Amino acid sequence: MELDRLRGVSGCVPMSEMRWNRRSFAILVIAATLLAGCNTTQFAPGASQPSVKPPVTGSAAVFAFAPVEGVPIQVLQALSAALNREASAQRLNVVPNNNPSRVYEVRGFVSAVADGQSTRLVYVWDVVDNKGARLHRITGQQAGGRATGDPWTGIGNETVNLAARQTIAELLKWVDS
């Protein structure tokens, strides 16, 4: 069966292979709300969560984005280009992931979710140090367009550009704190 091939060592199916509908989205939101109730800290939706003060700040902070899996190639290419464009425009130092000068690695989880007849691009970025310890988390979502069947078909360049702009702005806000 196709899903058996997709199941990794953990036995989980990648989120990109799941089909989301309004009911699935509602269950996800309810589960996240219930889990958030177990936490004593309040978070605003789409905001960065509490983090460790950046050990390296300003222009000495060099970021590298780790590969993001499970995203269709055309969306991944658009996201990569948008992140690089925004990093350059906002003057955030970004290097290829294998560059030894990186100080921070940004690990991303990106998904397209059906939201009625439209879609949402949902993302989580974890900033980790060279030892893999999470220092900072950025979460967000951007409204996409109309999709038929696969939610990824509703994620266009405008949606990706907004997500990239917000991501780079949040990284700068953290590293300059």
Backbone angles phi, psi at 35, to 5 degrees: -65, -40
Number of domains making up the chain: 1
The enclosing domain of 95 has a CATH number of 3.30.160.150
CA–CA separation, 21 and 177 (whole Å): 39
- The full 3-state SS of 97-117, as one line of letters, equals CCCCCCCEEEEEEEEEEEECC
> Are the C-beta atoms of 36 and 129 separated by less than 8 Å?
no
Domain that holds residue 52: 2-175
Mean pLDDT along residues 34-49: 41
* pTM for the structure as a whole: 0.73
- In tens, the pLDDT along 128-173 reads 999 999 999 999 999 999 998 899 999 999 999 999 999 999 999 9
